[in-house]
Amino acid sequence: MQLGLLKALYIDQLTKLYSYSEAENLFYITLQWLEKKSKTAVILGQETLLVDTYQLILKELLEGSPIQYLIHEAPFYGLDFYVDENVLIPRPETEELVHWVITENQNSEYKILDIGTGSGCISIVLAKHLSRATVSACDISLEALSVARKNAQSQGVTIDFFQHNILNGNIGHFDLIVSNPPYISFAEKNTMHQNVLDHEPHLALFVNHDNPLIFYQAITKQAKAYGTTCYFETSEFYKKEFDQWLTSQELQYTWKEDFQGKSRFLKVQF
């Protein structure tokens, strides 16, 4: 079967759920993963013997499965990471957080901790780019830590991974903390794409709506005891609450906007 016909099938079916460009991109991601081929193969009219596999993937996509979980791969900061349904799919916004940390801490010999590491994408990229630093990472989920260790091994970096619930116990001394903790209120569920709700781990996404800052406050309070600088990813909807709480604690902090102009990144210093 010609790849061009498969592309047309994907677009015809997937535009029931996605825009034309998203549907087209899903086909090309599948093409690259299955056959290591690009758009050129379609333009040249090449054929494939893997029609059944393409159709199986299409069926899963139509049921809402994220393509990253189907191919067990997601790009982040120029690297490819293994992902499954035990971890969140790395987001482009988080790349901006990592880039901020790297830019401000070149040549440092800091002890760095990534809290809520998930796939390990943040800690692994930091270990790659801040070669003089010592990087650790923790998560409450043993399944997530297994994924993170797998990614660290495949990327050739050494990271101390350990299980920890930041709400139940001290993390000890680190020079720098980076965290993208759960911050989506359960009240916001109805605004989210169904495939995220159905497939990505709720433990890593949601926080009780009566205190959406609970993880940030717990981390900041522990960091304060050691004078640890913290870099966070958060929601632009919490900026007012953050400002009020940080000011009440007499803390120094800086906001940074993402590529959409939203206040998504926060640095707290002591």
Judge whether residue 151 has pLDDT over 90.
Answer: yes
Q: What is the pLDDT of residue 248?
A: 93
For residues 222 and 151, what is the distance between their CA atoms, to the nearest angstrom?
Answer: 28
Q: What is the pLDDT of residue 212?
A: 81
Task: Residue 65: name the closest of 21, 20, 28, 17 by CA.
Answer: 17
CATH of 74-269, picked from 3.40.50.1370, 3.30.1240.10, 3.40.50.620, 3.40.50.150, is 3.40.50.150
pLDDT of residue 132: 95
User: Cα–Cα distance between 157 and 155 in angstroms, integer?
Assistant: 6
pLDDT digits (tens, 9 = 90+) for 237-264: 888 888 999 999 999 999 999 999 999 9
Determine how many CB atoms are found less than 10 A away from the CB of residue 89: 20
pLDDT of residue 205: 46
- Give the per-residue pLDDT at 168: 87
- Percent of the chain clearing pLDDT 70 (strictly above): 90
74: which 2 tokens?
A: 């997601």
| pLDDT attached to residue 201 | 54
Rounded to whole angstroms, how far apart are CA atoms 66 and 231? 28
Q: What is the pLDDT of residues 124-146, one digit of tens each?
A: 999 999 999 999 999 999 999 99
Tens of pLDDT, residue by residue over 14-26, are 999 999 999 999 9
Q: Which residue has the higher pLDDT, 160 or 185?
A: 160
pLDDT digits (tens, 9 = 90+) for 73-131: 999 999 999 999 999 889 999 999 999 999 999 988 999 999 999 999 999 999 999 99
pLDDT (tens digit per residue) in 167-225: 887 888 999 999 998 765 545 545 545 554 454 454 544 556 667 888 899 999 999 99
Query: Does residue 270 have a pLDDT over 50?
Result: yes
Measured in whole angstroms, the distance separating CA 43 from the mean position of its chain's CA atoms is 33
pLDDT at residue 194, as a whole number: 54
What is the pLDDT at residue 238? 84
For the chain, the structural domain boundaries read: 3-63, 74-269
Residue matched to tokens 């758009």: 39
CA-wise closest residue to 200 among 210, 209, 187, 189: 189
Identify whether the C-beta of residue 190 lies closer than 8 Å to the C-beta of residue 102: no
What is the structure's pLDDT at 184?
Answer: 57
Identity at 128, one-letter amino acid code: K
Phi, psi for 149 (deg, rounded to 5): -65, -40
